[in-house]
Structure 1
Amino acid sequence: MTHTYKVTGMTCSSCEAKVKSSLLMLPNVTEVEVSKEKQSATITMEKHIALSTFQNALDKKYSITAAEHNETAQQAKSWFATYKPILIIFAYITTISIIAGIQHSTFHWMQAMNIFMAGFFLTFSFFKMLDLKGFAESYSMYDIVAKKIKAWGFIYAFIELGLGIAYATNFQPFATNIVTFVVMTISIIGVLQSVLNKRKIQCACLGAVFNLPMSTVTIIEDALMIAMSGIMLITML
């Protein structure tokens, strides 16, 4: 069953992440969608849960009350609508990379990949920087390092920024690709665990700006970076 509740006290994306993570920790709760704009939380549960249970799970600054009850789950957004932001970003970066890779009627795939990696890391780090705290909190929900070291979420955003600059300026390409390969390999472990365990959590790939669910799209995204950095490393050997 799915119920929609009114949640007051949320003022930022970080609040959304806190409310969502707190509610998801409750037994029999399978999915939570939180919106600070609508001041609401849509909760899918295996059986009815008392309102007081939700309130006790939240920080005192948040108040949850009954708003709208729907016994059937609301219709899910289409796949395209859900992933529209990330699809558009990838389309832009891919197009620019292809154009940049074409020189004198010859396609230089190494240069194209380098531009793609630069665009990827610079763009994704930008969205993380918009709400660094919110990203760090969302990231700590599934990343194996961020779970143990809270500061890693903050550090990771700057690592992405540094990698983007390094690819854009062609700075120490061998070392840059090694760092990318290692960092993204570590990152994909938590993603795989979450997807395989069917955890309904927010993907932090675009920070806390977009509410993207963790899915195979996230796996493909990380795997693509690992594959590209690996190919570039092999080519340099």
Structure 2
Amino acid sequence: MAKSATLYRMATDEHICPFGLKSKDLLKRKGYELDDNLLTSREETDAFKNKHDVKTTPQTFIDNERIGGYDELRSYFNKSEAGQQGTTYTPVLAIFAVTLLMAFAFSYASNFALLSLNTAELFVALTMGVLAIQKLRDLFSFTNSFITYDLLAMKVVRYAYVYPFLEAFVSIGMIAALPAYTVAPISLFIGGVGAVSVIKAVYIDKRELKCACVGGDSNVPLGFVSLTENLFMIGAGVWMFIK
């Protein structure tokens, strides 16, 4: 006997409910024949909520029993809560993985050896650039997090607003092969201050903080990742002088 479900979801000219679409997709993937009912106006949506005494849509019904919204539907199918929960390294891993593949791609297109110092330099530069973008997309949130552990930003708050621009400059300067004296000192400075700050906050003071490395609204824990970012900058600065 075919499994069937009834779904009510909001889909107006102004708004299509994303959770309604996700509920529809989940039910179809679970093999349900779906009676998909669109609530095409605010008035129709409000009337549905009043009739069934619910506060939100979408709403799914299976075997004439109301299951609820998207989160309740996932729970019904014994699936974990939607979205990332708690601290996670996913944003950083995604950035590192993509920038590494980009470095390989650039080296391949330029006929450089994939496993070479050129690829490593590109990887560091691209990673710093993407991390700078993550910070620049919301400077306010980034600074709110950064000034809680960076030793210089604690004393000079404006440094927190300048930091992402300096990181972006180092990234662009490395890719453009600008003279070392214009880029390396900045890389060494921000990387050095950052590394000392992370070591003090995490490994000496034992504070549990969120890392501002991918922006102030992330759930990436402060520690190894941020220290790696700063060591990248220190290493890049040293390498530029040697090179």
Give the TM-score normalised by the residue count of structure 1: 0.59
- CA deviation vs aligned residue, 1:189-226 (integer Å, no higher than 9, x gap): 11111111210111111111312111223222322332
More strand by percentage: 1
Q: Which residue of the partner structure matches residue 167 of structure 1?
A: 174
Matched, 1:134 2:162: no
**Match status 1:178 vs 2:191:** no
* The one of 201, 214, 217 aligned to 1:209: 217
Aligned pairs for 1:46-61 within 5 A: none
Q: Do the aligned partners of residues 104 and 159 (structure 1) sit closer, same or farther apart at CA in structure 2, a change above 3 Å counting?
A: closer
Distance in 2, matches of 1:99 and 1:141, equals 37
Q: Are residues 185 and 157 of structure 1, via their aligned partners in 2, closer, same or farther at CA, if it must alter by over 3 Å?
A: same
Contact 2:194-2:227 at 8 Å conserved across structures:
no
Partner of 2:92: 86
In structure 1, give the amino acid aligned to 2:100: T
Matched residue SS, 2:120? helix
User: Residue 158 and residue 228 in structure 1: after superposition, are their counterparts in 2 closer, same or farther (change >3 A)?
Assistant: closer
The amino acid across from 1:205 in the alignment is C
Residue 144 (str. 1) matches residue 181 (str. 2):
no
Contact 2:87/2:219 (<8 A) preserved: no
- 3-state SS in 2 of match to 1:128: helix
Q: Distance in 1 between matches of 2:132 and 2:228?
A: 18
The percentage of counterpart residues that share the same residue type is 24
1:35-94 CA-partner distances (Å, limit 9, x unpaired):
xxxxxxxxxxxxxxxxxxxxxxxxxxxxxxxxxxxxxxxxxxx9x971011011101111
- 1:1-237 alignment to 2 at 5 Å? 82-102=88-108, 103-104=110-111, 106-107=113-114, 109-196=116-203, 197-234=205-242, 236=243
CA gap of 1:232–1:166, structure 2 versus 1, over 3 A, is closer
The residue type equivalent to 2:104 in the other structure is I
TM-score under structure 2 normalisation? 0.58
Q: Which has the higher contact order (CA 8 A, sep 6+)?
A: 1
Q: 1:81 to 1:212 in 2, by over 3 A?
A: closer
RMSD, matched Cα: 2.5
Distance, in Å, in 1 between the alignment partners of 2:167 and 2:90 is 22
Unaligned runs of 5+ in 1: 1-77
Deviates more, 1:105-114 or 1:201-210: 105-114
Three-state SS of the structure 1 residue aligned to 2:141 is: helix
Greater Rg by CA: 2
The one-letter amino acid of 1:218's match is: S
Q: CA deviation at 1:140?
A: 0.7
What are the ranges of 5 or more consecutive residues in structure 2 without an aligned counterpart? Answer: 1-83
